[in-house]
Amino acid sequence: MRVEVKNLVRNFPKTVAVDDLSFSFESGNVFGFIGPNGAGKTTTIKIMAMADLPNSGDVLYDGISAVENPEQVRHAVGYMPDALPENSDIRVWEYLDFFARVYGLKGRKRVKVLEDIEEFTNLGGIREKYLKALSKGMKQRVCLARALVHNPQVLIMDEPANGLDPRARIELRELVKVLADQGKAILISSHILSELEDMCDGAVIIEKGKLLRAGTLTEINRSDTPEDKQTIVIRFLDDPEAFRRQVLQMPYVGEVRLSGSNELVVELSGGDDECVALMAGLYRDGGRIIGFRRQEIGLEELFMNITRGEVQ
C-alpha cells in the first residue's frame, strides 16, 4: 500500500498547525516522523488516522481519499495513540474485545484474532488486569495490540517509546521490524531519535507545520552533504601515524584524523570514482585495510542541522 499526504493544511484560531505538508511512504517502509514540540506531528497523525479533518489537502491510501471516503480506508489504518484512557475500570481483554467488535469481528474469528494478538504482543499474562494497574510498558503493548486488532496495512504510531525502559524499547523495536517484514507501511512519531535510527528506512522532518526533509535516510543525508565531498572511515592494521601519512599523500584527500587505535576518518573530495581511486592507491602502496565505509550523518545530527527549534 502507498500512503500519500498531499498538501495538508490544518488551521486553528491562532495558528496554522499543518502548512501545505506533503510526503509519502509505502508497504515495508518504516518512516520516522520527527520535529520539535509543536511542529504539527500529532495533528498530522490524527488526520491520517481519520480522527480529525484538514482544512484542505488529503491523505490517500492507494489513491483512495481518507477525507472523502473515510469508511472505505478506515480498515486499512491502525492508529496507536501515545496513551491509554486514564483511570479506566476495564480489563485488558475487554478493551481489546471492544475494538475487535467495532471492526466487525465476530464469533470464533474474533476470539482467534485476539488470541493471536495477545501472543504477538505478549499480553497473555496480564489479560485479566485492569488498564489503570498496568506499567507504562504494558500500556504501550496494549495500545499496539489495539492498533493491530483488524490487521491493518498501515500502522501509525504516536510516541510509542515514550517512557519505556531500555528492555521495553528493544522489544518494541523488534516488534516494529517484524510488522515491517510482514509488509505493513509504518509511520512512527518519536523524540527518541536514536531509537528511530535503528529501525527506520526513512524520515519525515517538519517544523512549524512545514516539511523540511523527507525520504530515505541516505537521500536526506545526501541532500545535506555537498555532492563533491564525503567522509570515509578506514580500518587498518598498520602503524597509525605511518598509515595516516600514507593517506594524506593520496589525491582528493583533505583532513585526516585518527578515531581509536586503528581507524581513520578521512574527508574526501569527490564521489564514487574518487573512493575507488583512494582504495586502489592504498592497496597498491601496501596498506593493510580491513574496513572501508562512508560515514553517514546520524539522525540526531541531521535533526539539529535542519531544524531551528522554533515553535508555532
Tell me if residue 284 falls in helix, strand or coil: helix
Can you tell me the distance from the alpha carbon of 19 to that of 226, in angstroms, rounded to the nearest whole number?
28
Q: State residue 153's pLDDT score.
A: 97
Q: Which of 187, 244, 243, 260 is nearest to 33 (CA)?
A: 187
Does 87 or 41 have the greater pLDDT score? 41
Spell 222-251 as b/e; 16+ CB within 10 A means b: eeeeeeeebbbebebeeeeeebbebbeebe
Inter-CA distances, 93 with 104, 113, 114, 184, 225, Å: 16, 12, 8, 24, 50
Which domains, from first to last, does the chain contain? 2-222 (3.40.50.300), 226-294 (3.30.70.100)
Give the confidence band of 225 by pLDDT, cuts at 50, 70, 90: low
Q: State residue 224's pLDDT score.
A: 61
What pTM, to 2 d.p., does this model score?
0.80
The grid coordinates of residue 302 equal: 541531521
Q: State residue 295's pLDDT score.
A: 77
Look at residue 28 and tell me whether its pLDDT is greater than 60. Answer: yes
User: What does the mean pLDDT of the chain come to?
Assistant: 90
Q: State residue 205's pLDDT score.
A: 93
Residue 84 and residue 143 in contact, taking contact as beta carbons nearer than 8 Å = yes
Look at residue 282 and tell me whether its pLDDT is greater than 80. Answer: yes
Report which residue type is found at 86.
E
Tell me if residue 158 falls in helix, strand or coil: strand
Number of H helices, E strands in the chain: 11, 14
- Pick from 64-68, 189-193, 295-299 the range whose average pLDDT is largest: 64-68
- pLDDT per position as a tens digit, 83-112: 887 767 899 999 999 999 999 999 999 999
